[in-house]
Amino acid sequence: MQLTSVVFLIFYIMMLALTRIVPQRIRKYVLLIANIIFYLSSGPVGGVFLLGVAAAAFSLGIFFENRRPGPVSLCLLGIVPIVLMFAYHMTGAFYPLGFSFYMLMAIGYIADVMTGKCKPVRRFSDLFICLSFFPVIVSGPIEKLQDISAQLDDPRESDFTYSFLLILWGLLEKISISNIAGLLVGEVFDHYDSHSWAAIMAATVIYAFQLYADFDGYSNIAFGCAGLLGINIKRNFRQPYLAEGVRDFWRRWHISLSEWLRDYIYIPLGGSRKGNMRKQLNVLITFAISGLWHGAGFNFLVWGLLHGIYQIIENLSKHHIKNRIVRIVLTFAAVDLAWFFFRARDLSSAVGMLKRFGSGMSISPVSVLNEFASSGLNYIHIMYLLAAFAVLVITDVMRNKGVKIYEMYLRLPTVIRWAACYIVIFWIILASLSVMSMDISGFIYGSF
């Protein structure tokens, strides 16, 4: 069940209505049933994995309640499962939906109990509800289990309008940017033999925004859906392509993962407390682990190592670029180079594409556009893509400057606010229809 599907919309509305009708003490059990229905809609086998991880987290949480293992145990707890997940993923065997995400939640929870940061959850049902929380299980954010648990019995009053607008914006990002851009990118990356290096470069740049819109879109929908249920979850993105360095990038991109890696791998490894050389090694290891977590392929490891290397260079560099725009552009270029490996089907495809650079094929913009034409996109698709992209860039720039867009929106007259919502809803519908025959489905990060 995808978050952008009509089936999910019906499911969510029914579930939301039910949570509003039933007494407060039963609400979380409605959520439990909703989580089970959502998760099992992808097949029953994954449920066995989820139950197993929940049972292990519950048991280990209670076991470690008053035990304080050393940093080596914490390191192993963070690293070993991810390495094992990577090895398992590489076998090509069945990989359950959201496995990577709920595993990190479970590991984080056990580590927090081990370090005394939180008490173990006493009711298995509560732990299971948190671990299987449907807005976040597929693609995060990676929440702290205990943070969700604390809100189950005392949900906050939700800002309905804000949550609703975030869901709309998330849908627009996913449908009008990610789905359409994905057609272009897919055409080039999946058939790179018949494309020039210029088209590959252009597709890599477009991919940066496809991935951002897809992931940010999902996170916004998740935030809105959780918010309407009275559960506050983390915002996962903060205008990442306006970062002024790779370290800054990781404070803005997939923030929940960055925090998880910092808390459960980097810090247990010693962080920056064991000298400069050790710090750089810890950074490299942390990002290598991040690469392994992202997918079953050594191209992901290369992606992770690249980010580790970037950070080491930044850490060790004595020179700083004064011009802010240049810093932003260079950061984007570095990040996008890494995305090239991230998007490639595998390492050998990435190498194959790299060999096409400087191959001497035509690099005129017209010929690149002609190459993109084989993706099946037409001017209608491009119109939706560019319009949504423009809104994304403008709102990101505004938010980066501290402009409170939501508050601006609330100050508008009701007629204008409603008209804006209706326009966005119709935009989503029309953009969906325009790609309906194309086969783009699922969230990119849902495959991790």
Does the protein bind another protein through residue 434 (CB under 8 A)?
yes
Q: Which stretch binds another protein (CB under 8 A): 130-138, 278-286, 364-372, 430-438?
A: 430-438
Select the residue interacting with another protein from 281, 391, 430, 440 (CB under 8 A).
430
Decide if 61 contacts 110 (C-beta within 8 A). Answer: yes
Site string for another protein, 143-162 (x = CB under 8 A): -----------------x--
- Rounded CA-CA distance 292/8 in Å is 31
Does the protein bind another protein through residue 436 (CB under 8 A)?
yes
- Cβ distance to another protein smaller for residue 161 or 364: 161
Q: Work out how close the CB of 344 gets to another protein at its nearest, in angstroms, rounded to a whole number.
A: 26
Does the protein bind another protein through residue 357 (CB under 8 A)?
no
- Rounded CA-CA distance 260/104 in Å is 8
Does the protein bind another protein through residue 415 (CB under 8 A)?
no
Does the protein bind another protein through residue 168 (CB under 8 A)?
no
Q: Which stretch binds another protein (CB under 8 A): 21-29, 59-67, 315-323, 422-430?
A: 422-430
Q: Which stretch binds another protein (CB under 8 A): 62-70, 84-92, 253-261, 432-440?
A: 432-440
- Rounded CA-CA distance 273/267 in Å is 9
Count the Cβ atoms, other than its own, within 10 Å of residue 448. 20
Does the protein bind another protein through residue 18 (CB under 8 A)?
no
Does the protein bind another protein through residue 386 (CB under 8 A)?
no
Q: Please report, in angstroms and rounded to a whole number, the separation of the first and last CA atoms in the chain.
A: 16
Total number of residues binding another protein (CB under 8 A)?
A: 17
Q: Which stretch binds another protein (CB under 8 A): 54-62, 124-132, 340-348, 418-426?
A: 418-426
Residues with Cβ within 8 Å of 409's Cβ and at least 6 positions away in sequence, in order, are 165, 417, 420
Q: Is 269 exposed, middle or buried (0-12, 13-18, 19+ CB in 10 A)?
A: buried
Q: Work out how close the CB of 380 gets to another protein at its nearest, in angstroms, rounded to a whole number.
A: 4
Q: Work out how close the CB of 421 gets to another protein at its nearest, in angstroms, rounded to a whole number.
A: 8
Does the protein bind another protein through residue 425 (CB under 8 A)?
yes
Does the protein bind another protein through residue 426 (CB under 8 A)?
yes
Q: Work out how close the CB of 10 gets to another protein at its nearest, in angstroms, rounded to a whole number.
A: 13
Residues with Cβ within 8 Å of 387's Cβ and at least 6 positions away in sequence, in order, are 176, 427
Distance of CA 194 to the CA centre of its chain: 31
Decide if 308 contacts 287 (C-beta within 8 A). Answer: yes
Q: Which of 196, 187, 170 is nearest to 438 (CA)?
A: 187
Structure tokens that stand for 44 in this block: 């029953």
- Looking up tokens 């189950």 gives 152
- Rounded CA-CA distance 37/54 in Å is 17
Q: Radius of gyration (Cα) for the chain, nearest Å?
A: 22
Q: Work out how close the CB of 420 gets to another protein at its nearest, in angstroms, rounded to a whole number.
A: 12
- Cβ distance to another protein smaller for residue 406 or 422: 422
Select the residue interacting with another protein from 28, 195, 234, 381 (CB under 8 A).
381
Could you give the 3-state DSSP secondary structure of residue 374?
coil
Q: Work out how close the CB of 383 gets to another protein at its nearest, in angstroms, rounded to a whole number.
A: 9
Residues 361-380 that bind another protein (CB under 8 A): 378, 380
Decide if 247 contacts 262 (C-beta within 8 A). Answer: no
Residues forming contacts to another protein in the complex (CB under 8 A) are 160, 378, 380-381, 414, 418, 421-422, 425-426, 429-430, 433-437
